[in-house]
Structure 1
Amino acid sequence: MKYLLLKHYRGGPAPVADLAPIDEWTPAEVDAHIQFMVDFAARLEKTGEYVDGQAVSPEGTFVRYDGEGRPPVTDGPFAETKDLIAGWMVIDVESWDRALELAGELSAAPGPGGEPIHEWLEVRPFLAMPPTVTE
């Protein structure tokens, strides 16, 4: 079954809530954090559990149809907000427990000082089509 691991930067209870913004990390700390995620994905590629993943830019906007034919565009999200989606990874694993296990491992990516940041990850199963009933 496929699961989305959605990386939430800074949200949630301490210690992540008190984590310095990534633009205050040293270049070596940023490199170590990114390398951890690259190595994690490579390991899952070897087991056949990795599907895809991307980091996303902190810049963005919200759009919602207004009923009049033109979507209003609002400011945000902003990097200064309490909770920012930093990226995502799609995994294809045999069980919910395995998805949680991998999310826990990914949560240990290093941050300032090389210490695990205990990042909050949202784990969501992809909707599956209901089985086809044939008579």
Structure 2
Amino acid sequence: MAKYLLLKHYRGAPAAVNDVPMDRWTPEEISAHVRYMADFAARLEGTGEYVDGQALAPDGLWVRYDGEGRPPVTDGPFAETKDLIAGWMVIDVDSRERAVELAGELSAAPGKDGKPIHEWLEVRPLYGEPPLITE
């Protein structure tokens, strides 16, 4: 088994077919989207492939050590991208192919008018346990 991070990218402007900004969705459409995500996670819990996941708030901070005891803080969380990291899910699957299959399914979450949003998901393997040296 290998763990993968499925990183959900939200674009504030349409970037794909049916990619309507969430601020133009009805409350029912938002609820359907959230329900899809919860049902997806519950199904993976049943197969033992779900580890954890969370939605992220759109605000945040950048913080780094400055060598002087008080770290500087700037607005964030935006990296040099038009995307907002909207949430994440960690899965534990048998193969990279299974991670890609699940990411493709998650990308079909409903959006405006109940149509799949074709959301881009970043699929990143997590480092595993380092091998034990027994000599």
TM norm structure 2: 0.89
1:1-135 matches, within 5 Å, as 1-10=2-11, 14-15=15-16, 19-77=19-77, 82-135=82-135
Q: C-alpha displacement at 1:100, in angstroms?
A: 0.7
Number of matched pairs:
131
Q: C-alpha displacement at 1:61, in angstroms?
A: 1.1
Quick one: distance in 2 between partners of 1:130 and 1:53? 24
Amino-acid identity (%):
75
The amino acid across from 1:87 in the alignment is G
Q: C-alpha displacement at 1:65, in angstroms?
A: 1.2
Q: C-alpha displacement at 1:129, in angstroms?
A: 2.5
Are the aligned partners of 2:62 and 2:76 in contact in 1 as well (CA < 8 Å)?
yes
What is the SS of the residue equivalent to 2:76? coil
TM norm structure 1: 0.89
Quick one: distance in 1 between partners of 2:109 and 2:21? 15
Post-superposition, which runs of at least 4 consecutive aligned residues in structure 1 deviate over 2 A? 18-21
Q: C-alpha displacement at 1:74, in angstroms?
A: 0.3
Quick one: distance in 1 between partners of 2:128 and 2:51? 16
Q: C-alpha displacement at 1:85, in angstroms?
A: 0.5
Are the aligned partners of 2:19 and 2:118 in contact in 1 as well (CA < 8 Å)?
no
For the aligned residue pairs, the C-alpha RMSD in angstroms reads 1.9
Quick one: distance in 2 between partners of 1:46 and 1:19? 30
Q: Point out where structure 2 has 5 or more consecutive residues left out of the alignment.
A: none
Are the aligned partners of 2:50 and 2:91 in contact in 1 as well (CA < 8 Å)?
yes
